[in-house]
Copies of this chain bind each other. A is one copy, B any other.
Amino acid sequence: MTETTKRHRVVIVGGGFGGLEAARELRRAPVDITLIDRRNFHLFQPLLYQVATGELSPANIASPLRTVFRRQKNCQVLLGEVTDFDADGHRVLLRDGEIAYDSLIVAAGSTHSYFGHNEWESLAPGLKTIEDATRVRKKILLAFEAAEREPDPERRRAWLTFVLVGGGPTGVELAGALSEIARHTFRKDFRNIDPAEANIVIVEAAAKPLHVYSDKLSGKAAQALDRLGVHVRTHTKVVDVQDDHVVLESNSDRETLATRTVLWTAGVAASPLGRRLADATGATTDRIGRVQVEPNLTLPGHPDLFVIGDLAHCPDENGRPLPGLAPVAIQQGAYAAKVIAGRLENSPAPPPFSYRDRGSMAVIGRYAAIARIGKMELSGLVAWLMWLMLHLMEITLFQNRLLVLIQWGWAYLFRSRAARLITGPVEPLIETGNAPSDRKSADARAGQTANTTT
Contact = CB atoms under 8 A, between A and B. Distances in A.
A423 interface: yes
Contacts of A420: 40-41, 59, 64, 66-67
A447 interface: yes
Given A71-B188, A423-B58, A429 B96 contact: yes
A344 interface: no
A70 B131 CA distance: 29
B96 A442 contact: yes
Contacts of A64: 418, 420-421
Nearest to A453: B76
Given A100-B451, A406-B406, A130 B190 contact: no
A11 B426 contact: no
A78 interface: yes
Nearest to A407: B403
Interface size class of A (residues with CB under 8 A): 35 or more
A189 B78 contact: no
Contact of A191 (B76, B189, B426): B76
Q: How many copies does the complex hold?
A: 2
A236 interface: no
Contact of A78 (B71, B142, B149): B149
Given A400-B418, A416-B67, A418-B400, A99 B145 contact: no
B40 A446 contact: no
A97 B445 contact: yes
Given A58-B421, A418-B397, A454-B9, A426 B38 contact: yes
A442 B443 CA distance: 53
B190 A421 contact: no
A39 interface: yes
A453 B67 CA distance: 19
A96 B443 contact: yes
Nearest to A447: B98
Given A41-B421, A97-B447, A399-B410, 13 more contacts: A32-B453, A34-B454, A39-B422, A79-B145, A95-B428, A96-B443, A97-B443, A98-B446, A99-B450, A101-B454, A399-B416, A399-B418, A403-B407
CB-CB nearest 5 A-B residue pairs: A97-B446, A96-B428, A59-B419, A99-B450, A66-B189
